[in-house]
């Protein structure tokens, strides 16, 4: 009986959190950002990862509350620890750009989170990782190209352009101008200005 009561409490807690999060989303859409933030925060503090992510967004962009990157990082971290892929991506970016502590530890943690988000199919994480590996002090071109291709195949025109650059310059792949042109054309067709300029050049 105790176990059944505990299970009911858990379901009730989760249902309330889901309802609060939905109410927050609807309030945000209606332009009531303070109400939305309050709903997200109540659900987040009950441990609901989707709401934790939404609170992180509110703090990062100053919606319904004052902008506070430290608090945004705290809530993104909580959601990321519950395997929320978009929170993993956003928290990793905050760590790389504004994070406290040891540079190497921060860098390592951020890359691990980005890779988890990329594997989960987050296009932004794939694109970010691709560019990240290409720009490192010691570039990992094959690894970078792998993530750029994943993002390009998910429809990211900027990543498609960068894949074209890789083929044109032989970065992480054998130089192939025909393949470079194909990627530039696809990127340009999707509206990428850099790809259009590269094709004209």
Q: Which domains are delineated in the chain?
A: 1-120 (1.25.40.10), 122-200 (1.25.40.10)
- Of 86, 67, 66, give the one whose Cα is nearest residue 76: 86
- Structural contact between residues 194 and 186, judged by C-beta atoms closer than 8 angstroms: no
Q: In the prediction, which pLDDT does 97 show?
A: 84
What mean pLDDT, rounded, does the chain reach? 90
Location of structure tokens 């990329």: 118
pLDDT digits (tens, 9 = 90+) for 78-127: 999 999 999 999 999 999 887 666 677 888 899 999 999 999 999 999 99
- Structural contact between residues 129 and 93, judged by C-beta atoms closer than 8 angstroms: no
Q: What is the DSSP letter of 172?
A: S
**Percent of the chain whose pLDDT exceeds 90:** 76
Arithmetic mean of pLDDT, 57-69: 96
Q: In the prediction, which pLDDT does 9 show?
A: 60
pLDDT digits (tens, 9 = 90+) for 4-50: 555 556 555 568 888 888 889 999 999 999 999 999 999 999 999 99
- CA distance linking residue 197 with residue 87, whole number of Å: 35
Tell if the pTM clears 0.85, that is, is over it: no
Within the chain, how many helices (H) and strands (E) appear?
11, 0
Cβ-proximal residues to 182 (8 Å cutoff; 6+ apart), any chain: 164
């Amino acid at each position: 009986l105790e176990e059944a009561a505990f299970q009911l409490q858990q379901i009730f807690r989760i249902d309330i959190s889901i309802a609060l999060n939905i109410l927050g989303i609807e309030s945000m859409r209606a332009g009531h950002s303070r109400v939305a933030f309050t709903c997200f925060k109540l659900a987040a503090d009950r441990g609901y990862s989707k709401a934790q992510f939404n609170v992180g967004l509110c703090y990062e962009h100053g919606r319904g509350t004052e902008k506070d990157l430290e608090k945004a990082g705290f809530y993104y971290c909580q959601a990321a620890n519950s395997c929320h892929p978009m929170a993993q991506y956003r928290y990793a970016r905050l760590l790389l750009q504004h994070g406290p502590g040891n540079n190497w530890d921060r860098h390592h943690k951020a890359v691990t989170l980005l890779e988890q988000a990329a594997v989960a199919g987050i296009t932004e994480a794939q694109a970010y990782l691709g560019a990240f590996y290409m720009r490192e002090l010691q570039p990992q071109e094959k690894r970078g190209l792998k993530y750029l291709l994943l993002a390009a195949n998910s429809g990211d025109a900027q990543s498609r352009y960068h894949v074209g650059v890789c083929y044109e310059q032989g970065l992480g792949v054998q130089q192939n101008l025909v393949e470079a042109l194909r990627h530039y054309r696809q990127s340009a067709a999707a509206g990428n200005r850099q790809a259009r300029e590269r094709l004209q050049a």
